[in-house]
Amino acid sequence: MSPIMEKELLEHGLHLNRRKFLSQLSLGLGSIALGSLLIPDLFSGGDEELIMAGLPHFAPKAKRVIYLFQNGAPSQLDLFDHKPKLREMQGMDLPDSIRNGQRLTGMTSEQKSFPLAGSKFAFQQYGQHGAWLSELMPHTSKVVDDLCFIKTMYTEAINHDPALTFFQTGAQVGNRPSMGAWLSYGLGSENKNLPAFCVLLSKGKGNSQGVYSKLWTNGFLDSRHQGVQFSNGENPVLYLNNPEAIDNADRRRMLDRVAGLNEENFKTFGDPEINTKIQQYEMAYRMQTAIPEVTDVSREPESIVKLYGPECLLPGTYAANCLLARKLSESGVRFVQLYHQGWDAHDNLPQQIAGQCLDTDQASAALITDLKQRGLLDETLVIWGGEFGRTNYCQGTLTPTNYGRDHHPRCFTIWMAGGGVKPGVYGETDEFGYNIASNPVHVHDFQATALHLLGLDHEKLVYKHLGRRYRLTDVSGKVVRGLIT
């Protein structure tokens, strides 16, 4: 027997549940005591069991998430965080007392001066809570009363990949499960005919940073929790149709035979991934009818096309992905993850960010309106934001009309809407827009809050792997009550 096989058989042997464990030990006080030492929740029912039920820990506000990730880090200072002081002090050096030793990226650490750069764009207050928005977001300004702006997000990473990975998986290094995978694991899928976690990608004209499949990985969770990336073409899911001369009955027979073989295999090896494979084949079979139903945009009324903008009919655009996200979400997909690339404006920021907003502003706002008019906004949590913010000083040469901004992890703005989120403006930054003045929200706090809205206690949503329990929020994170209705 090959060593690999032996290892698998050994793992199978170890794959015992606690009932077997107890029944195989002689039943005495000693074995129970030993059992309770080895299985800490032996007598309390065990949170593993609670999670296996695939149910929220308490009544959820939100059932699903649509996460509009703005990859590359949009400039909060040109969109949300209005700082007139920066315009007053345009070109003057960032005071050391404000920077306070903050580390810089390799891109500006060699810069001799850090001239403050006020936003070139006009700001105005909107809605009941007086949220500030720049002129770049005319459509978002119409839905502000449904949005909660968190102006005091902060993160630990200063470069794209670790920051993005941190937001998605709760750790800066890879291989931990992504937020969508955690939700799929914690809540199960709503619609058994679709993946619980779908990923849609689009790209703007601005300077872009990569997104990779490790961001929607299941990590150490069962692979059925992995994000399913949709294609950018006219068929979002490829190879769904039966090949010529194969009809549904043939397909069914084939799947049954394959399942039989896989079951034989499972009996020998006991690898749970074999069962996952059987289930995934079955789901793909049902997806053959479910996907065309969900992704068909041809029957959307004209008002929807106008709401999202006609681009929403062009596959692969951000607008099309927003519309598809609504359709997937209303069909019971737990977590729809969008990534829109192109926000990394180290230079030419005014021009780049204007282009990015043109691509995203209307469709983001449309998604809110659309969910709301169908009665779905109160059960869907929508999140808009990047992996960190951008500096208040200029990267490169500052001219009256042009500037660039470097990465800034100490404060940035994201917004959330729907699903039990309290609309308004949360937290304040200092007058330089560099540090947080009140109510900071760490990435783990944000994750804990999002899970809370979905009815999950972030400290109880755990998975035991390699001898320790893992959480999305690692070992920190607090639910931010101020964000919740």
Q: Which residue ranges make up the site for another protein (CB under 8 A)?
A: 50, 53, 55-60, 190-194, 286, 289-290, 293, 301-307, 309-311, 313-314, 330-332, 347-348, 351, 366, 369-370, 372-376, 378, 396-397, 438-439, 455, 478-482, 484
Strand partners, 168: none
Radius of gyration of the chain from its Cα atoms, rounded to whole angstroms: 25
Q: Using the minimum distance from each CB to another protein, give the nearer residue, 111 or 369.
A: 369
CB closer to another protein, 230 vs 388: 230
| Closer residue to another protein (CB): 186 or 219 | 186
When the beta carbons of 39 and 50 are compared against another protein, the nearer one is: 50
Our measurement of the distance from residue 156's CA atom to the centroid of its chain's CA atoms, rounded to an integer in Å, reads 17
CA distance 376 to 331: 11
Question: Can you say whether the dihedral through the CA atoms of 70, 73, 75, 80 is positive or negative?
Answer: positive
Q: What's the min distance (Å) between Cβ of 331 and another protein?
A: 6
Question: How far apart are the two ends of the chain, measured CA to CA in Å?
Answer: 60
Is the distance from CB of 310 to CB of 295 less than 8 angstroms? no
Shortest gap between Cβ of 201 and another protein (angstroms)?
15
Shorter beta-carbon distance to another protein: residue 157 or 357: 357
> Minimum distance from CB of 118 to another protein (Å)?
20
Lookup: tokens for 354? 């204007």
Minimum distance between the CB of residue 24 and another protein, rounded to whole angstroms?
27
CB nearer another protein, residue 53 or residue 92: 53
- Judged by beta carbon, residue 44 or residue 109, the one nearer another protein is 44
Report the nearest approach of another protein to the CB of residue 290 (Å).
Answer: 6
Minimum CB separation of residue 381 from another protein in Å reads 16
Identify whether the C-beta of residue 113 lies closer than 8 Å to the C-beta of residue 390.
no
β-strand partners of 188: none
Question: Residue 197 or residue 388: which is nearer to another protein going by CB?
Answer: 197
Pairing of strands 436-438, 428-429: antiparallel
CB of 375 to another protein, least distance (A): 3
Of the two residues 311 and 344, which places its CB atom closer to another protein in the complex? 311
Q: Which residues lie closer than 8 Å to 311 by C-beta, 6 or more apart? A: 317, 318, 319, 320, 359, 363
Indicate the residue among 111 and 265 with the shorter CB distance to another protein: 111
What lies within 8 Å, CB to CB, of 417 at 6+ separation is 143, 146, 147, 148, 368, 377, 381, 382, 384, 423
Min dist. Cβ of residue 421 to another protein (A): 14
For another protein, the closer of residues 59 and 238 by Cβ is 59
Closest CB 330 distance from another protein, rounded Å: 6
